[in-house]
Each structure stands twice: as structure tokens, then as C-alpha cells.
Amino acid sequence: MKIYYKEFGNPNGKLVLFIHGGFTTCESYTKQYGMLEEYRCVFVDLPKHGKSQYDKRYHFSFEKAADELIELIRYLSPEEKVIIVSHSYGGLTAKLIMTKIPEKIEKAVIGSTNIQKTLLFRIYTSKLGCFYLWIQNRKRYKKDNISLQLVCDTQKDAWRQFQLADIEKFENLPCLLLVAEYDIKTIKESMYMWKRSLPNSQFHVVENVGHNYFFDAAEQVNSIVKAFIAVGQEVQT
């Protein structure tokens, strides 16, 4: 297993797995590192992201990422169910995990995950669109550990994953659905599609912020997520 991860909180607590979005790392959750002291919080770098570096022959896909994380879940929590927290493209990985092993997931947070095949996202899957995203990512994070190949692989596979296929396998799972007040229209519409498909879900709009609310509105988001996770939980010491 080559997945890099950081752990915080109670090593004997219930496992909470944090899955970051596209072209970033577990550092996108730095303001959640100490959020759940009673739980065993694991923050991963997805394959080919951050410190989870694979050789050049490895091509990223959400399916392969989900399989790697399922292996990690079974290794870290072989007996108990786990909680998933995801954001943006991380929600596509979470969706596949919940489809493959619904019996292992207790509840999940899905934040601003697109599931619509719109013209905008079609453009972003083109070679020119991928190059644009790669350049923007390098400017934003001042890092060069995200390759153009990773961006192209991710965008190509994301287009295939923009759907809610097999959602009936986890449709009764308690889910918290988050969307930013200033998310783009496609993502807002997608989150309402999630809501209609998951009758046992809670829905929250994170106010006065854009897509990166786990960092930019951490106090507001942490309060919402903590309240959702705490429902029905027995704290382990």
C-alpha cells in the first residue's frame, strides 16, 4: 500500500477518513486536523497526489483510488464501520467507496461534488482545458508536484464519473451534503440532485464563501460537520 496519510485524535476512536479534492493534498484539511479529538481522524493523499507518489506508468482513476482507500479502511478498521468526509472530486471517490462497501460506511459528508456532464466540464476535459487547470493549480498552490498527466487522467475519468449510478446501494446512508453559497451553478445543481437521491440526508449551504470552504470558512464548516458526526455516537476513550 502506497497511500500516505496523517493521523490525529484518539487512536482508539472510530475512524473518520478525510478525502481531499482534485489536484491538492490532505493539507487542504489543515483546519480540520484537530477538529474531532474523540475520533481517529485519517487524512490521506490520493494516489499521485502529495506524498502518495507512484511511478510514471501509473494512471490515476477514481476507481483505483477508491480501491486503495478500501484497502486502507479494512486495514485501519477491520471490524467497525467508518465515517467518510469528502470534498469536490473527493466526493467522486467517496461515492465509489460507498457503492463498493456500503456495509462498512456508517455515514458520509459529501461536499460540492459535481455529477453533471455540462459544457463547462466538457471543456475542462479537453487537452487545452487540462493545461489551463494545471497552470492555475501551480499558481494557486505554488507547488509543482501535480503533473500535467495527473490533471489529464483525472479530468478524463471525472467525466465518466459524473453520474449517480448505483446510488441505490447506499441511498439510505445518513449523509451530510454541503455546498457553498458562491459555488458555481453546476455544482449547486448537482448537490440538489444528490439531495433528491438521498432521502436520509441533511443539506447545508455554507454562507458567504466559495468552493474552498473547508479552509476559508473552517469555523462554520467544522461546527456543521461535528454536529452531524456526533449524532448517535458513543465516544471512545
Task: Say what the pLDDT of residue 160 is.
Answer: 87
SS3 204: strand
pLDDT one digit per residue (tens) for the chain, 237 residues? 589 999 999 999 999 999 999 988 999 999 999 999 999 999 999 998 889 977 778 889 999 999 999 999 999 999 999 999 999 999 999 999 999 999 999 999 999 999 998 888 888 788 888 888 888 877 766 555 678 888 889 999 998 898 888 899 999 999 999 999 999 999 999 999 999 999 999 999 999 999 999 999 999 999 999 999 998 765 454
Task: Say what the pLDDT of residue 234 is.
Answer: 52
Phi and psi at residue 208, in whole multiples of 5°?
60, 40
**For residue 168, with 0-12 CB atoms within 10 Å meaning exposed, 13-18 middle and 19 or more buried, which class applies?**
exposed
Task: Say what the pLDDT of residue 136 is.
Answer: 81
Q: Which residues contact 185 (CB under 8 A, 6 or more apart)?
A: none
Place of cell 478525510: 18
Q: Give the three cell numbers for residue 97.
A: 467507496
The pTM of this model reads 0.92
Name residue 15's beta-bridge partners: 40
Q: Give the three cell numbers for residue 171.
A: 441511498
Q: Which domains does the chain have, with CATH numbers?
A: 4-114+163-230 (3.40.50.1820)
Helix %, strand %, coil % of the chain (to 5): 45, 20, 40
